[in-house]
Amino acid sequence: MNQELSTAKFDAERAAEYAVQSRIALAGYDACQELTACLLAATLDPAAAARVLVVGVGGNASEIRALAPLAPNWRYVGVDPSPDMLNAARDVLKSEGLLDRTSLHQGYLEDLPDQEPFDAAIMFGVLHHLRGDVAKRSILEALVSRMREGAPVVVAGNRYEYSSKPLLLNAWKQRWLFAGEAPERIDHMLARITLAADPPHSNEDFEAYLERAGVEELQQFFCSLFFAAWIGRTREKRTRSASSR
C-alpha cells in the first residue's frame, strides 16, 4: 500500500465520518478499546511511566482516550499516513487535554525516527488494509523491532475473506440497516469496504503473521463478526550459553 493510496482512502470525508461509521461496522468498538486498555494496564504498572506506540491513531484516537484514565503517567506516540485522519485525532486529543502527552507523526511506521524502545503497542484496524503478505509482515516486523523484549502488543482487525462468510456479511449489512442507513446505499458501502481490504483468511493466519514477526503468548480477547483482537508479548531474545555451544 503506497502513500497515495492510503491517504486517498482515508481522506477528509472518511475522517469526518469515521467516529460514527467505525462503530456501525464494528459492533462493540468501544468495548474492544476499553478491554485493550484494561489488558495493557493489567500487564504493565499503570502508575509507572511508560511509552505506548499507537499505529493507525488517526480518526478519534480511541486507543489513547481509553488508556488515559487508567494510566495517568503513560505517554503516547501515534502514527498515521493520512493527514486528514491525523488532524481529526489531534483535534480530539486537544479537546480532551491529552495532546501534551502525545506525539503524532504523519507517515508510515517504517518511517518513524529511531527512539527508545516502546513499553507497549496497539495496532487497531490496520492489518486488513494492507494488501499481500509482504506488506503485512513488514509492518508487524517494524512494530516488533521498536518494542522492548517482552512488551505487550495488541493487534486487532478483520479476518476471513469476506465472501467466504456470507452469513457474517449479511449480518454486517443488517448492522447498517439497524443504524438507519438507506438500503440503496448499503451495497455500495459494503462493496467499497470489502474490495479495498485484504484481511488474513482465518484466526490461524492472523496469529501466524504475529508469531512470525516475533509476538508470542497470543490470547484472543475479542471477536465481533469479521473483527477480532489479540494480545501477546514480543519474543525475548534467547542466547545460548558458552557451555551449550
Q: What is the mean pLDDT of the chain?
A: 89
pLDDT tens per residue, range 6-64: 554 555 556 557 778 888 989 999 999 999 999 999 999 999 999 999 999 988 999 99
pLDDT tens per residue, range 60-92: 999 999 999 999 999 999 999 999 999 999 999
Q: How much is the pTM?
A: 0.90
* pLDDT attached to residue 22: 86
Give Cβ neighbours of residue 50 (< 8 Å, ≥ 6 apart): 44, 71, 73, 74, 75, 119, 120
* pLDDT attached to residue 149: 96
pLDDT over threshold 80, residue 241: no
Q: Write the DSSP assignment of 172-184 as a string of letters.
A: HHHHHHHTT--HH
pLDDT tens per residue, range 120-169: 999 999 999 999 999 999 999 999 999 999 999 999 999 999 999 999 99
Query: Is the separation of the CB atoms in 212 and 137 below 8 Å?
Result: yes
Q: What is the mean pLDDT of residues 111-125?
A: 93
Domain parsing of the chain, residue ranges: 3-162+198-234
* pLDDT attached to residue 199: 96
- What's the half-sphere exposure (Cβ side, CA atoms, 13 Å) at 171? 11
Decide yes or no: CATH 3.40.50.150 for domain 3-162+198-234.
Answer: yes
Query: Is the separation of the CB atoms in 130 and 210 below 8 Å?
Result: no
pLDDT tens per residue, range 196-237: 899 999 999 999 999 999 999 999 999 999 999 999 999 986
User: In the structure, what pLDDT confidence band is assigned to residue 188 with cuts at 50, 70 and 90?
Assistant: confident
